[in-house]
Each structure stands twice: as C-alpha cells, then as structure tokens.
Structure 1
Amino acid sequence: MQKLSNYKTSNPAFSNYFWKNNPNTSKTMSVRGIIIKSIVCIFIIALITGFIWKLYDNGTNVRWFTLGGMLAAIIISIVISVRQHWSHVLVPLYAIAKGCFLGGFSAFIKAKYPELPFQAIGVTIITFFTILVLYQTQIIVLTKKLRSVIITAALSIFIVYFISFILSLFGIRSFLWGTSWLAIVFNIIAATVAAFTLLLDFNYIEKHKNKADKYKEWIATWGLLVSLVWLYTEILRLMRKFAIKF
C-alpha cells in the first residue's frame, strides 16, 4: 500500500504555497504547538458563539453576525494567503469571525432545538478522532484517485453553495435549505467530504512537522479550523433537517 506523502490537500491552508520555503529559524513547526493553538482558537470560537447565543436570547437580531462573520472569515483568509507572517494575529481574528458566524447561524437552530448544537459538537469531535485513527492506522490509505475525488467533490460543493448564495440575493430559494431527501443526501455528501478533507490535512501536517517555520503552526491551525467549522456546520444542518422531517 502506498501512502500519499507527496500529494497536496484540498484545504487551501495546506497547499504547497504555504510550505515551499525551508525554515528560516532554529524553531520549527511541531504537532504540540498546533494542538495548543487549535485549542486556543476553538475556545475563542466557543466563547464568541456563547456570547451571541445570549444576545439572541435577549431579543437581539443576530442575522448580521452570521453574514458579517462569514464575509470577514473570507477576507481574513485571503489576507492570510498573502501575508503569512501575520498569521499569529490573523488566525485568532479568523476564529473570532467564525465565532460570529457560528453563533448567528446556530442561534436560530438552538432556539427551536436546544440540544442540537451540542450534539453536533459531539459528533464533530467523534468524527475528528475517527478520521485521525483511520489515518494513523492506515485503515484508509490515501491514493491519488481518492485525493482527486475529494478535491473535485469539495470544489463542486463550494460551487453549488456559491450559486445558491447568489440566487438567494434575488429571492430564489435553493433546494439546499429544504428538507427534501435530495437536500439531505447532498448534506450527507458534504459532511463526508469535509471529514475526508481532515484526512488529507493530517497527512500534510505530518509531512511538514519539525521542518516548516515555527510561525506556520498558525497556518496549520487555520487549516484545521477551516475543516472543523465546515464539518460542524454540515452536521448541524443535517441534524436540523432530520429533526424537522422526523
């Protein structure tokens, strides 16, 4: 069985653009550093999300937090891609933006289904460690074909969501937001692709640990946040659809 150590991931944070240079300092990226930074950023996201939930419970309109957080996260991601040395500042800001997005997005769901966000967190954590075990034990072997499928699927899903967003600006509601079986199947596929994106990211982190510059721990943290937030969002949407349908 062949392990993919030379292939790129579908996650932009783990493309060769971010890792092509040799370390410029004696300190290099470590898994421990990535874990610590990821925990800090996840805590920031949770804190902001909880704050927005409280605002929503007090009657505040949090719709703009959702849209503003989403747009801010996109802008910050673009800046990170061209100003990598600012990542120690930009990645925490990205976490704040994602906290605003998730807080606003999940507040509406939590109001009607109070347990769903917490259940989605649990499923996301379980999925994360399941993919990690599958990767470490090589139960799933990364082949070139599998990599191509994941990248193609992720890009296709992004295009569908983008088109859906554009249509919504003209008052056209996409099937994605409904509870039809087609919408549910699409949601399941999207969640699966998000999970397999983590598989590719683990591979890329392993390839560059103890080699890349220390500051790139923040880049690796950003990449994991991108995948985890996407996975959590898909799981929460899927659970909501099941709750409505059944």
Structure 2
Amino acid sequence: MAYANYNTSNPVFSSYIWKYNRSSASKMTLNGVIIKSIFSLVLVGLTTWYVWDLVNKGEDVQYYTYGGMIAAIVFSIITSYKKKWSPITTPLYALSKGLFLGGISAYAEAKFEGMPMRAVGVTLLTFFIMLILYKARIVIVTKRFRSVLITAIITIMSIYIISWILNIFGINTPYIWGTSWFAIGFNIIAAIVASFSLLLDFDFIDRKINKAPKYYEWVATWGLLVTLIWLYVEVIRLMKKLAIRF
C-alpha cells in the first residue's frame, strides 16, 4: 500500500504528518515508542497531581484547566507542522494536558469520590484489551474498517465542535452534555469509537517501525497520548452521567 494513501482515525497519524526522509540513518523502534510513551504519561500524571493538590488546598484551578487545554492545542499544532520539534513539543503537550486533566479530574473526585481512578483503570484496561485484540489478529484492520471508523470520528468531533460553539452563544445542548438516555448513548458510542481508534494507531505505528526517523518516536507518543486522553475523558464523562442518572 502506498504510504500517502494510508489512513488512520487519529489525525496525528495522517499522511502529511508522517512524511519523512527515508535516508535517515536512525530509525523509529518499538522500544523507543514504549519508553517515550511511559515517560510522557508520567509527565501527564505529575501536572495532574499538581493541579489536584491545588484543588485540595482550596485554590481556584480554572486558569490551569483552560490554560492547559489551550496550550495542549497549541503544542499539537506545532508538532503537526514541525515534526522535528516533537522531542520538545510532545513533553510540553503532556504537561499541558495534565493541567487540563487535573482540573476536570479533581472536580469529578469532589462530586463522585474515586471516579477518576476508576476511569484511569477502565482506560488502561481498554488499552491492553485493544492491544491484545490487535496482536492476536482477533480484529483485523481493513480498509473498510478504517473508513467506517474515520467517518464515525469525524462525525463525533463535528458534533462536539458545533455543540461547543452553541454553548459559547448560550445555547444549551442537553442531548450531548446532559444525562438523558440519548446523551448517555452518544457518550457510549464516542467511548467505543475512541477505543477502536487505538487499533488503527497500533496498526499504523507497526507499519512504520524501523522505517521512520528516530524522532518520530515522539510523534507516535504524541498520537497515542491524544487517543488515550480522549478515551479517558469519554470514560469519566460517561461515569459522571451514569452516577447522576442513578
């Protein structure tokens, strides 16, 4: 399959971002991706814990939460256009995203004790289940599989963007953010799509091992963080809705 025609659900792994010079001597390895992913997750955990501790001290972390979210978007854009900067921008993305996660997780903990840790557990369990399904070839990533999943992701993200814009103008979207059965169903679908997008990411990284330049290990790490954090956010949102509903 031609490289330029290969698609994945995660925009991080698009053909534009994954263009590289094939003459590069040092190549991307699986161990490199694993080590950098673990390191980046530790960074996420550190800033998450920092903001969480501020909440416990009674401080307002709204600026940390929204500032982290905006910074994460900025570093994502920089990484997508300046891939050689990824050894710097990916750790910065992880730190920024941790600030955002710290805010929403501390809020969830205050309302529903133990929920964030349960959401982390579900996210990690889902990650390993998807990895087993991929490695055991129980689920095979085909062209049709990719097309359906990409369409689902684009649809979900479009709905989120539209609802965010409407909320800015004071128009509520309870069918997305509320606790109705429709909102819960939508959240479940989004979580499932986020889970299965990991399969596409595994597949794409697998194809590029020992082919892409060494610094792409950081780009791959960034892509996995994007998917894992999206999955965590969907899981914790679903848990909150179910807790309120019942």
TM-score band w.r.t. shorter chain: over 0.9
Give the structure 2 partner of residue 3 of structure 1.
none
Q: Is the 8 A contact 2:28 2:212 kept in 1?
A: yes
Counterpart of 1:51, as a letter, is: Y
**Superposed CA offset, 1:72-129 (max 9, x none):** 1111111111111100000001001110111111111111112110001110011001
- For 1:155 and 1:41, the matched residues in 2 are separated by 26
**Superposed CA offset, 1:134-176 (max 9, x none):** 1111111222222111111111111111111111112222222
- For 1:88 and 1:21, the matched residues in 2 are separated by 16
Q: How does 1:108-123 map to 2 (within 5 A)?
A: 108-123=107-122
- Which deviates more from structure 2 when the two are superposed, residues 102-111 or residues 56-65? 56-65
- For 2:65 and 2:162, the matched residues in 1 are separated by 18
TM-score normalised by structure 2 residue count:
0.94
Task: Name the Cα RMSD after superposition.
Answer: 1.2
**Superposed CA offset, 1:179-199 (max 9, x none):** 111110010000011111110
Q: Is the 8 A contact 1:56 1:107 kept in 2?
A: yes
Describe the SS at the equivalent of 2:188: helix
Gaps in structure 2 of 5+ consecutive residues: none
Give the structure 2 partner of residue 71 of structure 1.
70
- For 2:83 and 2:20, the matched residues in 1 are separated by 12
Give aligned pairs, total.
Answer: 241
- For 1:165 and 1:106, the matched residues in 2 are separated by 20
1:230 aligns with 2:233: no
Gaps in structure 1 of 5+ consecutive residues: 1-5
Describe the SS at the equivalent of 1:17: coil
Q: Is the 8 A contact 1:128 1:195 kept in 2?
A: yes
Describe the SS at the equivalent of 1:32: helix
Counterpart of 2:187, as a letter, is: N
Percent sequence identity is: 53
Counterpart of 2:137, as a letter, is: Q
TM-score normalised by structure 1 residue count:
0.94
| C-alpha distance 114-23 of structure 1, shift in aligned 2 (>3 A) | farther
Give the structure 2 partner of residue 140 of structure 1.
139
- For 1:144 and 1:193, the matched residues in 2 are separated by 16
Describe the SS at the equivalent of 2:86: helix
CA drift at 1:178? 1.1
Describe the SS at the equivalent of 2:154: helix
- For 1:89 and 1:20, the matched residues in 2 are separated by 19
Q: How does 1:94-113 map to 2 (within 5 A)?
A: 94-113=93-112
Q: How does 1:55-204 map to 2 (within 5 A)?
A: 55-175=54-174, 176-204=176-204
Describe the SS at the equivalent of 2:16: helix
